[in-house]
């Protein structure tokens, strides 16, 4: 089987990957509390595993970087176990990754995100970096790859939340030994207050998921659900990697005289 993990390849082998036009894939997660029953690297581990599976299933030249294990997780700090970046640093790290990939000869980047707190920052950063460097930078957050399929698999919630039925099921499928199963029964949070609709502000997870930091019901998790989620997400990610429409070069909108050319 062709090796696709960046860290297992040699420098000459990576030069060869770049020369054949391989897609670089960067999984991004976080290091943050996931209740009393899941490890703090949940988002990073799951994003990396899904990126590897999707890349392998795509049949295209792809190389998957090690996961970027810090994201924007300040909302989880009240529970402990959390290491976070601020937005300026997050963007600066991404920019350095993109510059490095370009220096290495890669011309396109897919970011597979596993953390909800990264969604908005990634939308801004990927847009800015694509305009700055002129390469396609595509971002997906893996639960958004197959929302209907995931909703049909889960039984207590309509989508992936946090340390919930869905994420716990993934762990049971991937590595059940890392789940503190004896803690699942005590992992439910107290009901959060209902904020007014249509208003945006900062809420910590102590406010959104009081007591345990869990959103959702992990008691319903099973390895079978985890395998079904992995299958649906892997197929969707592989299809996206094969979709040539995603990988065209972005319009150089900031180029001098761009408006004069129509």
CATH class, domain 6-250, is: alpha beta
136, burial (CB in 10 Å: exposed 0-12, middle 13-18, buried 19+): middle
pLDDT digits (tens, 9 = 90+) for 56-66: 999 999 999 99
| Range 254-261, long-range pairs (CB < 8 A, 24+ positions) | 254/131, 254/132
pLDDT tens digits along 145-173: 999 999 999 999 999 999 999 999 999 99
- How much of the chain exceeds pLDDT 70, in percent? 100
Instruction: Give the start-to-end residue ranges of the domains of the chain.
Output: 6-250
Token pair belonging to 120: 């908005």
Q: Please name every residue paired with 5 in a beta bridge, in sequence order, or none if there are none.
A: 64
- State the Cα–Cα distance between residues 208 and 58, nearest whole angstrom: 37
Helix (H, G, I), strand (E, B) or coil at 112: strand
Mean pLDDT of the chain: 97
pLDDT at residue 42, as a whole number:
98
Which of 28, 97, 24 has its CA nearest to residue 62? 24
Q: Quick one: DSSP state of residue 243?
A: -
Rounded Cα distance, 163 and 169, in Å: 9
List Cβ<8 Å contacts ≥24 apart for 198-202: 202/75
Question: Which pTM does this prediction carry?
Answer: 0.96
pLDDT category at 18 given cuts 50, 70, 90 is very high
């Amino acid at each position: 089987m062709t090796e696709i993990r960046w860290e297992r390849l040699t420098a000459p082998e990576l030069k060869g990957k770049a020369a054949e036009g391989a897609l670089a894939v960067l999984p991004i997660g976080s290091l943050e509390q996931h209740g009393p029953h899941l490890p703090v690297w949940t988002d990073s581990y799951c994003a990396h595993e899904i990126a590897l599976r999707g890349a392998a299933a795509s049949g295209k030249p792809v190389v998957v970087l090690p996961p970027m294990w810090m994201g924007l997780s300040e909302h989880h700090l009240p529970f402990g176990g959390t290491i976070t970046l601020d937005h300026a640093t997050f963007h600066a790290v991404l920019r350095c990754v993109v510059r490095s990939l370009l220096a290495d000869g890669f011309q396109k980047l897919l970011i597979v995100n596993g953390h909800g707190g990264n969604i908005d920052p990634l939308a801004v950063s990927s847009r800015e970096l694509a305009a700055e460097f002129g390469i396609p930078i595509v971002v997906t957050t893996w639960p958004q790859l197959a929302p209907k399929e995931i909703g049909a698999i889960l039984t207590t919630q309509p989508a992936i939340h946090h340390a919930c039925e869905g994420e716990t099921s993934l762990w049971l499928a991937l590595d059940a030994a890392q789940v503190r199963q004896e803690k699942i029964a005590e992992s439910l949070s107290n009901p959060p207050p209902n904020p007014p609709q249509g208003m945006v502000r900062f809420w910590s997870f102590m406010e959104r998921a009081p007591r345990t930091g869990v959103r959702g019901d992990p008691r319903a998790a099973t390895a079978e659900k985890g395998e079904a989620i992995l299958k649906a997400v892997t197929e969707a990610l592989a299809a996206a990697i094969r979709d040539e429409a995603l990988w065209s070069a972005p319009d150089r909108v900031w180029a001098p005289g761009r408006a004069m050319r129509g």
